[in-house]
Structure 1
Amino acid sequence: MGKSQVFFTNMRATSDMNLLQKLEKLVKRAGIEQIDFKEKFTAIKVHFGEPGNLAFLRPNYSKVIADLVKSLGGKVFLTDCNTLYVGRRKDGLEHLDAAYENGYNPFTTGCHIIIGDGLKGTDESYVPVPCGEHIQEAKIGRAVMDADIFISLTHFKGHELTGFGGALKNIGMGCGSRAGKMEMHSDGKPRVSSKKCVGCGVCVSICAHSAISVVDKKAGIDHTRCVGCGRCIGTCHFNAIVAAWDESNDVLNKKIAEYSWAVLNGRPHFHISMVIDVAPNCDCHSENDVAIIPDIGMFASFDPVALDMACADMANKAPVISDSFLDEQIKKQGSNCEQQDHFAIAHPETNWKSCIDHAVKLGIGTKEYEIIEI
């Protein structure tokens, strides 16, 4: 496989060319119009942002892509899947409320929003992964898999488990149903917090494997019966059931790559990443810390692996913002700090390269790229 083309433009703007116009020019130069969108359902995968976090992408960027797809004849929608953790995007209704609160709605984006795995995170498609080392059958939000064409629109930022959250993270983890997210994050099964459990029994009725019972007004999970589907997590109204969160970071990254393969394989796809407001942690946080590096720009490519590699390389060449989390970490680590990898410095226990390398092995793309600046 030769070098992939990654198109790039900085965040400078003039009275003749604003940032939204630059984004449209970028994706056109990157070849998005080569895709046949005519009467095709097109999913644009975005992160709507956990309320309280202000680093997520503005909906204006989504509208540029949605309007362009519609002009090319596509039937476009924005999508994301429900979260595994407890927050404001745990079920379909709260997720939509959060999206609307953060400015994502049909009027601001020019298209509808569909929560990919439905009301409770259980509306999923089972996608075989014959090349998988860890995943044999990925559990992907049904609306994502029902689309004919897939576009990722990613906010590139740091991440406490994977080093950074780029295109592959947005695709693999982001498109997993609740059971899929549990499969990526956990090597174990969910458990019940007795302090939060009220013994209502709703989880008992949803379990298809008779793994849950209520004794003395407290639920318990029989792990010999539990298959780790995660449905009980979405059903519990008291946030009393939680995932194990015990998978190693390297295996987590490899699982994300395998889920990405499941999402992308067999259909046209295109990818956009915005390296702006690069907070140290995920947009799933209900807060965002100050950016760790200055804004870099916008990137687009047909190859999500090359895209992530280009974003990481350019981010690592950027200066560190004074008094940011990254700056604090550098000062703590002192002379032992490897200055060239901002994301390894920010989160030393992570290894973002394991996801990239595994994605290459799976044939999703290549690390070799050519930057074309416009």
Structure 2
Amino acid sequence: MEKSKVYFTDLKTKPGLNLLDKLEKLVKKAGIENIDFKNKFVAIKIHFGEPGNLAYIRPNYAAKLVKVIKELEGIPFLTDANTLYTGRRSNAIDHLEAAFENGFNPLSVGCNVIIADGLKGTDYREIEINCKHCKTAKIGTAIADSDIIISMNHFKGHEMTGFGGAIKNLGMGSGSRGGKLEMHSASQPKIKKENCVACGQCIKSCSQSAIVIDKDKKADIDYSKCIGCGQCVAICQFNAAQVIWNESADTANEKIAEYTYAVIKDKPNFHISFIMNVSPNCDCWNSNDIAIVPDIGIAASFDPVALDRACVDLVNKAPIINGSVLEHEHYHEGEDKFTHIHVNTNWEAGLKHAEQIGIGTQDYELVVLK
């Protein structure tokens, strides 16, 4: 397979060329105009951000992309699927309110906002893929029924997959609640008892009431109820809730790649990643920690695998921000930043599997726009 092109622009501006202009220039240079948008339904898959978390993509960028697509005679809509865990995006009513609160509404972005898997997360299409782990994938109906897929990805760290980029946004983000359960099912957490201080935050955050405080005043997980969503891992400030990874780090990432394959199967697709506010954890939580590196830029490609790989490389080449989690956790120059933060993750397995099932290639050429 020949190298995929990943187009990149930095965040430097000048009079007459602001960041929104640079985004438009980037996507056009990357070839978005080669897609036949005329009268086609265009799903712009984006993460609206959990209210309280301010690291998500600004809606201004979405509005610029919507404008470009409308000029190409497409019919765009912004979309995401409901979450598996508790929070303000676990049903369509709360999810829409959260999206509007964060600035993603028809007036600000110029198109409708649709929750892909319906009111309760049960509205999906089962797409046959016959992959290693998943024979079918449960994809939110609005995404499955669209004619064209565009992903807008906030590139950042992630407690289950190492980092979150195009593949995480498309695969996990497009799955219905049942689909998300299937992808999470290989990653149940454990409690490291000696670290637990019985603060109770994991109990409050557990959507399945699967955690209690035991007689020794330590958190304890009922695995008959646990769905492996990882929220306790993300919420725990004492490294007591940890994922049991053994082979499941690879499995979870591979399943997400397979769901991504289902999303883009037989459809024109294009992907944009914003390498800014690179927070150590996912935008799913209602707060965001200090970024681990300075803002880098925006990248775009027809190949989501190449795009994710390029973003990883750009972050790993960047200097760390003083005061970030990397400084506190004694990062050493040359280490992979994402596995340093989330030591039990294996993001490489997901990209490798994505290559194997034909989503794209990690071999890329970075085209830097002047």
Which residue number corresponds to residue 253 of structure 1? 253
Q: Determine if contact 2:55/2:288 at 8 Å carries over to the other structure.
A: yes
Change (3 A) 1:63 1:360: same
Give unmatched runs, 5+ long, in structure 2. 189-205, 213-221, 230-242
Q: What's the offset of the Cα at 1:246?
A: 6.7
Partner deviation per Cα, 1:13-48 (whole Å, 9 max, x = no partner): 111200000000000000000000000000000000
Deviation at 1:188, TM superposition (A): 9.1
Whole-angstrom distance in 2 between the partners of 1:32 and 1:125: 27
Q: Who is 1:293 aligned against?
A: 293
TM-score between both structures, scaled by the size of structure 1: 0.83
What's 1:281 paired with?
A: 281
Corresponding residue number in structure 2 for 1:14: 14
Q: Distance in 2 between matches of 1:255 and 1:99?
A: 27
Seen in structure 2, the aligned counterparts of structure 1 residues 80 and 191 have a Cα distance that, compared at 3 Å, is closer
Return the offset for 1:328. 1.2
CA RMSD of aligned residues (A): 2.2
Conserved? CA contact 2:186–2:252, under 8 Å: no
The verdict on how the C-alpha distance between 1:194 and 1:129 changes in structure 2, with shifts beyond 3 A counting, is closer
Per the alignment, residue 151 of structure 1 pairs with 150
The amino acid across from 2:280 in the alignment is P
The share of aligned pairs that are identical, in percent, is 54
Cα distance in 2, alignment partners of residues 346 and 326 from structure 1? 7
2:367 aligned partner: 372
2 CA distance for matches of 1:44 and 1:191? 28
| Alpha-carbon separation, structure 2, partners of 1:250 and 1:25 | 37
Q: Does 1:85 align with 2:85?
A: yes
Q: Would you say the 8 A contact 1:81–1:121 is kept in 2?
A: yes
Structure 1 residues 192 and 81: alpha-carbon distance in aligned structure 2, compared to 1, 3 A threshold: closer
Structure 1 position 35 matched with structure 2 position 32: no
1:125 touches 1:142 (CA, 8 Å); kept in 2?
yes
For 2:17 and 2:71, how far apart are their aligned partners in 1? 20
1:124 corresponds to which residue? 124
Question: What does the per-residue CA deviation read over 1:186-245, in whole Å, with 9 as the maximum and x for residues that have no partner?
Answer: 14999953899xxxxxxxxxxxxxxxxxxxxxxxx9x8xx9x9x9xxxxxxxxxxxxxx8
Contact 1:172 1:258 in 2 (8 A): yes
Q: 2:191 is matched with which residue?
A: none
- Asked if 2 retains the 8 angstrom alpha-carbon contact of 1:186 and 1:246, the reply is no
1:57 aligns to 2:51 (yes or no): no
Q: What residue in structure 2 maps to residue 193 of structure 1?
A: 209
**1:352 maps to what in 2?**
347
Alignment of 1:139-288 (within 5 A): 139-187=138-186, 193=209, 248-288=248-288
AA of the residue aligned to 1:85? Y
The answer to whether the Cα contact below 8 Å between 1:250 and 1:355 also exists between their aligned partners in 2 is yes
Confirm or deny: 8 A CA contact 2:166 2:271 kept in the other structure: yes
Contact 2:86/2:207 (8 A) holds in 1:
no
SS in 1 for 2:349: helix
- The runs of 5 or more residues in structure 1 that have no matched partner are 197-220, 231-244, 332-336
Structure 2 residue 102 is matched with structure 1 residue 107: no
Give distance in 2, aligned partners of 1:36 and 1:192. Answer: 44
